[in-house]
Amino acid sequence: MTTIMEKTIKIGLCSDHAGYELKSILEGYLEANNYEFVDFGTNSADSCDYPDFAHPCAQAVEKGEVDLGIGICGSGNGIAMTLNKHQGIRAAICWKPELAALARQHNDANVLVLPARFISPVEGIDIAETFLNTGFEGGRHINRVNKIPVK
C-alpha cells in the first residue's frame, strides 16, 4: 500500500457509464503504484445511474472504510451533486492538477470528481496523483471547512 503523509490510505472509486473507461485506467494506475482501493462500480460502459455507485462510495468515506474517494462521470456534475448530499463528504470537481491541489489544501476535499468527457486519461492520472499526494494545510482553512456541514 502507498503511504501519503506517512499514512496508509485506501481509496474508494465510483463512476457511471461515461466514467467507466477512465475509472478502469485509474485502477491500473493505482494497482501499479500499490494503492489499495475499493471499486463501487459501475463495471461496464452500459448506461446506468451514477447515484447507485456514488452513494455507497460516499458512505464508505463517511464510515472510514476508505480514506478518500474518486468519482467519475461525463461532466462531473451529477456524481459530485450526489456525493455532496452526504454530510461528511467534500467532493471537488477538478479538471486540472492545480484545482486538485487547492481542493485538498484549502477545502480538505475527501472525494475527487473527474469530468471524463472533458479530460484525457493522462490528465486524469495527473489530477488523481496530485489529489492523492496533497494534504490539508489546516490553519486559516479549518474554520471554513468546519462550517460546510449543515448542523
Task: Give me the domains of the chain, ranges plus CATH numbers.
Answer: 3-144 (3.40.1400.10)
- Burial of 120 (C-beta count, 10 Å sphere; 0-12/13-18/19+): exposed
pLDDT, average across residues 3-16: 78
Catalytic, out of 17, 48, 55, 106: 106
Reply yes or no on whether 73 is catalytic: yes
Is residue 14 among the annotated active site residues?
A: no
In this model, does residue 150 exceed pLDDT 70? yes
Q: Give pTM, 2 decimals.
A: 0.94
The residue written with cell numbers 503523509 in the block is 5
If you average pLDDT over every residue of the chain, what do you get?
Answer: 94
Q: What is the structure's pLDDT at 3?
A: 43
Task: Select which of 14, 57, 73, 94 is catalytic.
Answer: 73
